[in-house]
Structure 1
Amino acid sequence: MDRSAVPWGERWDGLAAVVADLSALVLAGPGARRVAEQVAELLVAGTSRHRAHRAALAELVDRVLDLHAVACGSDPPSPVGLADWLLHVQTGFAEPPEVRLAPYAAALGEEGLARYRAEAVARFSKLPVIAFGRTGRYDRERWALLRVMEELAEHVGDVDLQVLVLTRDLSSGWHYVQVATVLRDAGRTEEALEWVGRGLRATGGRGAAGRLVDLAVDECLRLGWRERAVRWRRRAFLAWPAVETYDRLRALASGVGGWPQVRADVLDEVRRTGDPAVVGELLARLAARGC
């Protein structure tokens, strides 16, 4: 029979009945795991053919995956085999589901989770980094692996995995801010500041550059590194001489102490190294303000 001629309502009732039967089979005890995998794969494959009903089908898939996780408890699979199947169902279809690892934690165990992590990282690491200013091509594989890695990083609470995910897309300064923020929040200050520096070099003072400098200054002040905080503001002013960067440097250096010397040094350096037209306009504006 040509199923395409069957009204969607009837097909939906049939699919719901299959999932209900699967639920009863899982509750009955061992023997339902392989059936759950087959049903999950059939539903996932059908999602791409019925885009108009994608949300409804996705809910069914989520229900089947919940049942599959329960079935793994009464019918334990090979941890490696389970890891491979979970990756397959998330990356091998046009409309893959989003799998939560928590319900599978016991069935995966250390061996299965290690396999899952190694395979996911190996595949994700092969994706090209989207460089600053470039428009990345997020094809099906990239989206699927990105979801896999985000869930894995959250599940294991691994900062290195979070950084790996974020650093595959460095197309804007805000991505550098994200990386630096994650590292700062993890207490890895030096690495965070290194990424601030990378972001400033990439942005050339545009876009998120100000937020990057703010992040570095705030972190240095939090740790009591006042002179280092002033150096970040000084670096920003010399790289992008403007009233705004000057005012920020003055406010910080005045509070820390030693502003007169800092002022003399940076103005002397900007006169020697800066664009004459830009420097001339800046100095004129500062003189008009008496600062």
Structure 2
Amino acid sequence: MNFWLDRSNVTWAERWDGLTAAVADLSGVVLAGPGARRVVEEVAELLVAGASRHRAHRAALSELVDRVLDLHAVACGSDPPSPTALADWLLHVQTGFAEPPEVRLAPYAAALGAQGLARYRDEAVARFSELPVIGFGRTGRYDRERWALLRVMEELAEHVGDVDLQVLVLARDLSSGWHYLQVATVLRDAGRVEEALEWVGRGLRATGGRGAASRLVDLAVDECLRLGWRERALGWRRRAFLAWPSPETYERLRALAAGIGGWPAVREDVLAQVRAAGDPDVVADLLARVAAREG
């Protein structure tokens, strides 16, 4: 395979013909029966390494790698490796090269079995968990290792349908309020409402009312109303207004309180708290704008 990858004395078109012919021959060997798995693994690694050396042809070589990985999955069916060895090799080929491929786990499900999948998951989670969390307002450093492990974890989470893995992946980047919203949305969609609301609270504390804050509050309010928790929904709107008093947060509080009843008492209470806690000029301006909206 390296013979065709690195033949600088011939055109790329000729080298490509040689590479595709070699993969076609490999396909015939795999389909003929057991015994080709290790050869396929060696070819896959040579092509993955070659993609980093020949970046101008990276897309074409990546497609060829995908074909070889499909052959590898077939070879694992007729020549099964040990489940743990297969798990280790799949992680190696995805994280040990400068231009790693994206491996789909579904074709390997039978060969991995419960033991191999557990090994794959344990190793991937352990390595991913060592990556630093990107805190709010920070710019994340997505180096080769982080990107590779992120792809591994995303595919693993989708393959096993594990919400905890999804949350683990998303929670490694909390650089904006939208990332908190993603976590809360995943938990809400999984029916884990209390955990979703906890992430809403964390996101609001991080954002300080900016960016995705209004969407976070909307998610909390909508879920509370859906479950019939009207007072909890009102509490989210009340806290949002008191934390970030503005005509917008006021209008949202008024709309909800008027809909479920008790708006006059709520209005009197929150405006009294704003007067007591705020700068007099700011409060006067806010109340004037509120009064204008109320006619």
1:47-77 deviation per Cα after TM superposition (whole angstroms, max 9, x unaligned): 0111111111011000000000000000000
Task: Report the secondary structure of 2:103's partner residue.
Answer: coil
- Give the equivalent residue in structure 2 for 1:43: 47
The 5-angstrom pairing of residues 134-173 of structure 1 reads 134-173=138-177
Task: Report the secondary structure of 1:48's partner residue.
Answer: helix
Aligned match for 1:226, one of 223, 227, 230: 230
- Give the equivalent residue in structure 2 for 1:214: 218
- Give the equivalent residue in structure 1 for 2:33: 29
The one-letter code of the counterpart of 1:171 is: S
Aligned match for 1:112, one of 116, 132, 136: 116
CA distance in 2, matches of 1:94, 1:276: 59
Per the TM alignment, residue 278 of structure 1 is displaced from its structure 2 partner at its CA by: 2.1
1:112-171 deviation per Cα after TM superposition (whole angstroms, max 9, x unaligned): 000000000000000000000000000000000000000000000000000000000000
State the superposition RMSD in angstroms.
1.0
The one-letter code of the counterpart of 2:44 is: A
Aligned match for 1:8, one of 9, 12, 35: 12
Per the TM alignment, residue 185 of structure 1 is displaced from its structure 2 partner at its CA by: 0.3
**TM-score, normalising length: structure 1:** 0.98
**How many correspondences in the alignment?**
291
- Give the equivalent residue in structure 1 for 2:106: 102
**TM-score, normalising length: structure 2:** 0.97
CA distance in 2, matches of 1:100, 1:290: 57
Aligned match for 1:250, one of 242, 254, 257: 254
- Give the equivalent residue in structure 2 for 1:70: 74
- Give the equivalent residue in structure 1 for 2:195: 191
Per the TM alignment, residue 287 of structure 1 is displaced from its structure 2 partner at its CA by: 2.4
Q: 1:193 to 1:3 in 2, by over 3 A?
A: same
| Percentage of matched positions with identical amino acids | 86
The one-letter code of the counterpart of 2:211 is: G
Per the TM alignment, residue 280 of structure 1 is displaced from its structure 2 partner at its CA by: 1.4
Per the TM alignment, residue 4 of structure 1 is displaced from its structure 2 partner at its CA by: 2.0
Task: Report the secondary structure of 1:163's partner residue.
Answer: helix
Give structure 1 stretches of 5+ with no counterpart.
none
Task: Report the secondary structure of 1:65's partner residue.
Answer: helix
Per the TM alignment, residue 5 of structure 1 is displaced from its structure 2 partner at its CA by: 2.4
- Give the equivalent residue in structure 2 for 1:122: 126
The one-letter code of the counterpart of 2:149 is: L
- Worse-superposed segment, 268-277 or 109-118: 268-277
The 5-angstrom pairing of residues 53-64 of structure 1 reads 53-64=57-68
CA distance in 2, matches of 1:89, 1:289: 62
CA distance in 2, matches of 1:154, 1:287: 51
1:266 correspondence with 2:238: no
Give structure 2 stretches of 5+ with no counterpart.
none
- Give the equivalent residue in structure 2 for 1:182: 186
The one-letter code of the counterpart of 1:256 is: I
Aligned match for 1:20, one of 13, 19, 24: 24
- Worse-superposed segment, 281-290 or 110-119: 281-290
Aligned match for 1:282, one of 279, 282, 286: 286
Per the TM alignment, residue 286 of structure 1 is displaced from its structure 2 partner at its CA by: 1.9
Regions of 4+ moved over 4 Å: none
